[in-house]
């Protein structure tokens, strides 16, 4: 009896001692906590899935190379299923319960904006991976973002149109978040650039036929080119209808469909259309003088080797988000929130997958419209135009 007790007590002591030693060693190099909430499943999974894969892959890679400031990175991730309320709850959990040092996440604009009030109050640096211009305009002290804004996409498309001499265009857009915001920005930019929007049509995300809207645009007097701002399957249907109706006007799509899956969905109908996109789609076509070429090629080959799936623009946003976070923490020399935030704001000339980032107190995105490349679909593949 006494013997078993003694043996048990000994065992217990050994375990306790081991535990103490372990916790001591953990304390010596407490990991830097990077929090993330992404839409890995649900309707926006095509954004969240490559984003999460990218984060996991590069956190592992950075840890293998010795971490940041001699500390390991720890990725704490939650899936918001594309729902803004859960995004907010998980942001709350990251900030208050997990007490992360920085947040890189928010696949959609809704998810990002739902978390913004919390982040601003809790004063935690937050790098969003969502597109709309409202995220960083007006500038919010603690919020940064890596994708170009939809406004830049509109600027880039309209500039290309103007260069080709089109001043009267037809617009067709989806009523989803992306399309609605894109439409607003396009109307705005067009006014500034002296381009006239002569037709303005919309379709909802679940529509399966857009010939009515396209016929309206075709029958509008003086229309010289057509732009579609949309996301998901809608733009592919618009493209197919466009070809079926035999419309000969030059056709533009937004960066929302800049992926190989769109080419597959739209098939031959996509021939000749132009869109603004990340150089990630045409890494080998970039001139050697382009500073982004090496970064983009590296990311593409590493991602495809690790996950055995095609790289996507959206994963590139997460790559830049993580690298900006790491750079800022290194520059700040600590994980102090205010110092990291300030370092983020002062990042200049970081060349990422998406473009060259030059942050400033007035610009928490740091990209300019030229980071978009104009691509044209030729023979079922992307061709770099500009």
Partner 1 sequence: MLNQFMQSRLRGLIVLAVILYTIPAFLSNPFHYDLATQMAIIAATVVGLNLLVGFAGQISLGHAGFFGLGAYFTGIMTGNYGWSAIPALVVGGILVGILAWVVGRPILRLKGHYLSMATLAVGFIIAIVINNESQITGGPDGMPVPPFDVFGWELSPFGSYSLFGIELNGSQAWYLFAAAVLLVAVWLAQNLIDSPIGRALRSVHGSEVAARVVGVNTARYKSLVFVISAIYASVMGGLYAHFQGFITPAVASFDFSIVLITMVVLGGMGSTMGVILGAVVLKLLPQVLTHFQEMEAVMFGLILMLTMIFMPKGLLPTLQMAVSKRLKKRAGGQA
How many Cα neighbours within 13 Å face the side chain of 101?
A: 24
* Residue 298 · residue 353 · CB < 8 Å: no
Shortest distance in whole angstroms from residue 285 CB to partner 1: 34
Q: Which is nearer to partner 1, 116 or 281 (by Cβ)?
A: 116
Q: Select from 84, 270, 273, 296 the one that contacts partner 1 (CB under 8 A).
A: 84
Rg (CA), the chain: 24
Q: Is position 97 an interface residue for partner 1 (rule: CB under 8 A)?
A: yes
Got the DSSP string for 267-326?
Answer: GGGGTT-EEEE-GGG-GGGS-TT-THHHHHHHHHHHHHHHHSS---HHHHHHHHHHHHHH
Closest distance of CB 128 from partner 1, Å: 12
Contact status: 114 vs partner 1 (CB under 8 A): yes
Judge whether 229 and 188 are in contact, CB under 8 Å: no
352 binds partner 1 (CB under 8 A): no
Is 136 a binding residue for partner 1 by CB under 8 A? The answer is no
Strand partners, 375: 275, 384
To partner 1, the closest distance from the beta carbon of 42 in angstroms equals 9
| Contact between 365 and partner 1 per CB under 8 A | no
**CA–CA distance from 122 to each of 93, 181, 310 (Å)?**
12, 28, 37
| Site membership for partner 1, residue 137 (CB under 8 A) | no
Q: Taking CB under 8 A as the rule, does residue 180 contact partner 1?
A: yes
Strands 274-277 and 225-229 come out as unpaired
The binding track of 5-44 with respect to partner 1, each residue x by CB under 8 A or -, is: -----------------------------------xx---
Contacting partner 1 (CB under 8 A), which of 60, 61, 85, 330? 85
Kindly give the pairing relationship between strand 381-384 and strand 373-378: antiparallel
Residue 191 near residue 197, CB atoms below 8 Å: no
Q: Does 56 bind partner 1 (CB under 8 A)?
A: no
The interface region with partner 1, picked from 172-180, 299-307, 331-339, 353-361 by CB under 8 A, is 172-180
Cβ closer to partner 1: 90 or 382? 90
Give, in order, the Cα–Cα distances in Å from 297 to each of 163, 288, 385.
30, 11, 19
CA–CA dist 191, 200 (Å, integer): 14
By the rule CB under 8 A, 81 interacts with partner 1: yes
The rounded distance, in Å, linking the Cα atoms of 292 and 305 is 20
Classified as helix, coil or strand, 111 is helix
93 binds partner 1 (CB under 8 A): yes
Q: Which is nearer to partner 1, 132 or 296 (CB)?
A: 132
Considering the rule CB under 8 A, would residue 139 count as an interface residue with partner 1?
no
Residue 78 contacts partner 1 per CB under 8 A: yes
Binding site for partner 1 (CB under 8 A): 40-41, 78-79, 81, 83-86, 88-90, 92-93, 95-97, 109-110, 113-114, 116-118, 121, 132, 134, 175-177, 180-181, 204
């Amino acid at each position: 009896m006494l013997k078993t007790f003694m043996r048990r007590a000994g065992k217990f002591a050994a375990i306790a001692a081991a535990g103490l030693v372990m916790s001591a060693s953990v304390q010596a190099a407490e990991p830097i906590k990077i929090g993330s909430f992404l839409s890995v499943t649900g309707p926006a999974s095509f954004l969240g899935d490559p984003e999460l894969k990218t984060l996991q892959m590069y956190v592992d890679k950075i840890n293998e190379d010795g971490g940041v400031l001699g500390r390991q990175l720890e990725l704490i991730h939650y899936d918001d299923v594309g729902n803004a309320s859960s995004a907010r709850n998980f942001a709350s959990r990251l900030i208050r319960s997990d007490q992360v040092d920085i947040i890189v996440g928010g696949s959609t604009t809704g998810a990002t904006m739902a978390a913004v009030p919390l982040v601003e109050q809790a004063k935690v640096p937050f790098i969003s991976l969502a597109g709309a211009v409202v995220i960083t305009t007006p500038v919010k002290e603690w919020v940064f973002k890596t994708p170009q804004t939809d406004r830049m996409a509109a600027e880039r498309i309209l500039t290309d149109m103007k260069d080709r001499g089109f001043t009267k265009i037809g617009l067709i857009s989806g009523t989803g978040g992306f399309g609605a915001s894109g439409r607003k920005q396009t109307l705005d930019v067009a006014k500034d650039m002296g381009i006239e929007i002569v037709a303005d049509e919309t379709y909802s995300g679940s529509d399966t036929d857009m010939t009515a809207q396209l016929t309206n645009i075709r029958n509008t007097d003086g229309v010289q080119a057509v732009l579609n701002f949309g996301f998901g399957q809608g733009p592919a249907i618009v493209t197919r209808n466009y070809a079926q109706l035999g419309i000969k006007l030059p056709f533009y799509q937004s960066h929302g469909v800049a992926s190989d899956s769109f080419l597959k969905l739209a098939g031959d109908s996509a021939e000749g259309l132009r869109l603004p996109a990340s150089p990630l789609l045409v890494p080998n076509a970039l001139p050697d003088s382009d500073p982004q070429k090496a970064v983009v090629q590296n990311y593409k080959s590493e991602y495809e080797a690790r996950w055995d799936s095609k790289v996507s623009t959206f994963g590139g946003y997460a790559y830049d988000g993580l690298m900006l976070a790491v750079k800022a923490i290194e520059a700040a020399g600590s994980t102090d929130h205010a110092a990291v935030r300030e370092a983020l704001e002062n990042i200049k000339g970081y060349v990422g997958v998406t473009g060259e980032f030059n942050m400033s107190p007035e610009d928490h995105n740091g990209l300019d419209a030229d980071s978009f490349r104009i691509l044209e679909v030729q023979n079922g593949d992307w061709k770099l135009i500009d």
